[in-house]
Amino acid sequence: MAIEAEIKGNLFKVGDWVKVTQTSFEGEKEKSTSFEGRVISIKGRGENKMFTVRRIGIDSIGVEKIFPLFSPTITKIILKKKANVRRAKLYYLRKNIH
């Protein structure tokens, strides 16, 4: 059974492909950035719940980012593609298999 989480009405599970939009402040300017990738883990309980998103960057380098689920900087999460996985953590995607 894969673990699932809900934020702002969007339900996603481990293995799903998501796009996370986050705001940050640089001085007086507000900047919006997005990070798109596969959810490889959801951990924690209650307000301390976090999820890890992994994508493959330039030159086949894996990039991971950990987001607190109830962070005020996350503006929206878009579910791009649902997945049917049978694991709670997808850490095996970190291995570079060719």
38 is a domain residue: yes
DSSP assignment letter at 51: E
Mean pLDDT for back-to-back runs of 10 residues, the chain (98 residues): 78 94 91 95 92 92 93 92 92 80
Number of domains in the chain: 1
Backbone φ and ψ for 70, nearest 5 degrees, come out as -105, 35
Order of strands across the sheet that contains 50-56? 62-68, 50-56, 29-43, 17-26, 74-81
pLDDT value at position 1? Answer: 47
The CATH number given to whatever domain includes residue 14 is 2.30.30.790
User: What is the residue range of 73's domain?
Assistant: 4-82
Answer yes or no: is 87 within a domain: no
- Whether residue 96 lies inside any domain: the answer is no
